[in-house]
A and B are shown apart, each in its own frame.
Chain A
């Protein structure tokens, strides 16, 4: 039951209730996170009554069906057709990461998130490895626009795409036992924000107080696949870091 549509989508039943849809390779200029977000919305809009959940992945969508509503062959065909239609429509309206008009005309507003860079976890270390000054690193990082790929790993943990290649660093050799809540961190090709205190091996650049997941809200997760995020520094860029202040903050966070 595997079919390929124009070499792009491979939809396949992986369990008797789950359809795995792999989107193929695209040009580098295509913002895949935004594309997967659009595909998800498109599937929900047309098949809402049949679907129990759609889990977006880095290059795939996992569609879980309500068992009593499944119609194996027809659903496979319909999902393929909807995805194909959505991808073709989106690509036609140029989904490019660097396209400024997308944020103006496309209706996707940028969410700006304040980040406190004063607590030095890995900031100096990362700056050294990237051969940048601390201030330059913060300035360059805050100039970037990130797209939300997905929430995963824990409720509200956002994986962000849009990290330029010179920022790619392997994970820490020894993961931290406690990464504080709100840590904005980078590893490999991704940037991420920790919604709660947990173990983790990413390079922490700063801390944000933005709440990423609150179960009491109608939509608990702050961000969905395809949203656009930009960070801004909470403290003025040129203030030299006060070392005694840093250590007290670090010990507080590590309690």
Chain B
């Protein structure tokens, strides 16, 4: 086994274990959020092993860093305790999600088995593929309309959040 393979199994295992830890942990919301961080960072490490450096950096920066810190911030502010979610209902919701997740996984596996893309060995990517230069050029030329639409959506979300937050103060 090469070093890459060993590292892949280490991070893949970490990702799966911490993802399970996030879902199965019912006692402590903060610990769940921290497990999510470990999952995100392990996924980032797997992207690194695939030499997708920009995706890895964004994965850790945006998902592992910014978004989960905000989760953590809200969770710590609200200070949720277990009795706010009755255990019976929680178990019901969780088993529903687990069944849905397994169903999606089976779907993906079947689709991967049928897809010729996964039957052929992968081709070598060109130099600089998926680097920040290529992605930036693509985003601001070919996909500029989509970028603008996404930014409009985010703006709408920010305005909505402001209205929700402001209503109580005024």
Do A and B belong to a common assembly? no
Chain A residues within 8 Å of B, Cβ to Cβ:
none
